[in-house]
Structure formats: C-alpha cells, structure tokens
Amino acid sequence: MIRLIDTLSHGNRLSSASPLWKCGFAAAMIVLAYASHPAVQAAIALWMAAWTVVYARVPARIYLAMLGSGCLFFVASLPALAVDFRHGALALSESGLHTAARLFVRAACCLSAMLFLILTTPMLRLFQVLQKLRAPQLLLELMLVTYRFLFLLLDTARMMHTAQRARGGHGGFKSRIADTAALAARLFDRTMHRYRGLSHGLASRGFAGDIRLAPYEPAALPLRYRLEIALGGALLLGFEIMLRIGGYE
C-alpha cells in the first residue's frame, strides 16, 4: 500500500502544484469539518473527492478502497456508540445512533481531506513544507528515517516471501501459517541488518549525524485552482452560516 501511495503521489496531475497551498487547503477543510454541520461536512467530502479523482486523476477504485478501509476503523467502534445497556439488556439508542452518524460523516470528511493531501503530494515535499514551517529538525529526521525504514521492511518481507515460495513454502493452509510465523520472526532481524548496512554506508560517505533536506522551492498554483478554492471555501462558509442562522442541528 505504501508503494502505491508513493507512486500515486508522484504521478498524479497535481503533484507539481504548490505543496504549501495543498497543505493549507487540506488543513482549512479539516478545521471547517470540525466546526460545521453534517451537510457541510458531506459537501466537503465530495469536494475533496472531486479534487483527488477528477483533478489529480487518482483512480476512483483506489481512492474508494482507501477511503472505505479507513472508515472501517470507525465502523468497528459503532457498537460502543449506538448500543446502550438498559435494564439488564442491550438495546439500540436513538441518541447514540444520531451521534454515531454525525461522527461518521465528520470522520469521512476529514479522511477525504487527508487522502487528498497524501495522494497528491510526494512525501519529500511534505517534509520540505514542515521544514519551512520551522518544524524541529529532530522530528523531521525521525520522520524521514521511519519513512525509509518502511520501504526496507517491505522489501525485506517481499524477498523473504519469494524465497519461501521458491523452496516450496505456502503450499497449504498449515504451511502458510507456519511460513508466515517464520517470516514474522525473522523479518525484524533481517530488516535491522539491512538498516545497519545503510547506516554504515552513510558513515563511509561522511555522514555527520544531520540529514539535510533540500530547501523548499515555491511552486505555482494555477489561477483557476486558486479561484476555485476561494469560491468553494466561501460557498461552504456561507452554507454553514445559513444553517446556523436557520437553527439547524
């Protein structure tokens, strides 16, 4: 999944657009989602989906799969919100269902804004935005090392899985369970071995302990997109103000 996200973030039509604009846009939509009515939140979710699928040309099937898998975590918590224990028995609570529905719309809205940012902006550009925003250097180094470590982990798991299949592994259900357990037991040790090799390679090239990121280079955002962001944001704010004046819950 992480390789797919990395590929999409580099190959979409908005990858070259200003990452600072995209970060600000996504952050503004998340803040508005927390303070707005469910109708406005649904409109934000649809708008973010349009930016991701229509403008960035991220495949709709992949986008819906990621959105749905994220929503599954919230669905798992629905029983705790919708079910109430009354008079020694479990029963559905009307207020709990109402709260669960509102929270689900808000979670889907915030998730769609985050997916827009993740699927349209390469990770290195996000690190550069954080650097421009004066994020602590230690935090940036930890994030960069962790991101690199994830690829090492996946590459090691793929090679070990290929080696097991070449030796006749994963032939049946019991064999798959045993081989998966063996892979999990050896995966961390193999990954740390590769990571130590990477560290030694950096040290041999004069690594002094500080990971230097390339400075942030401003990128242009087409006027059409800027106008649409301003107009869409104004319409959403107007819609929210109208709902508050009308007394809608």
pLDDT for 87 beyond 70: no
Report, as an integer, the average pLDDT of 122-137. 86
The per-residue pLDDT for 31 is: 92
Of 121-130, 131-140, 180-189, minimum mean pLDDT range = 180-189
The per-residue pLDDT for 160 is: 76
| pTM (2 d.p.) | 0.80
Higher pLDDT, 96 or 56: 56
3-state secondary structure the chain: CHHHHHHHHHHCCCCCCCHHHHHHHHHHHHHHHHHCCHHHHHHHHHHHHHHHHHHCCCCHHHHHHHHHHHHHHHHCCHHHHHEEEECCEEEECHHHHHHHHHHHHHHHHHHHHHHHHHHHCCHHHHHHHHHHCCCCHHHHHHHHHHHHHHHHHHHHHHHHHHHHHHCCCCCCHHHHHHHHHHHHHHHHHHHHHHHHHHHHHHHHCCCCCCCCCCCCCCCCCCHHHHHHHHHHHHHHHHHHHHHHHHCCC
Percent of the chain past pLDDT 70, that is, above it, reads: 91
Give the pLDDT band (50/70/90) at residue 97.
confident
Sketch the domain layout of the chain as residue ranges: 2-121+220-246, 134-204
Question: Rounded mean pLDDT of the chain?
Answer: 82
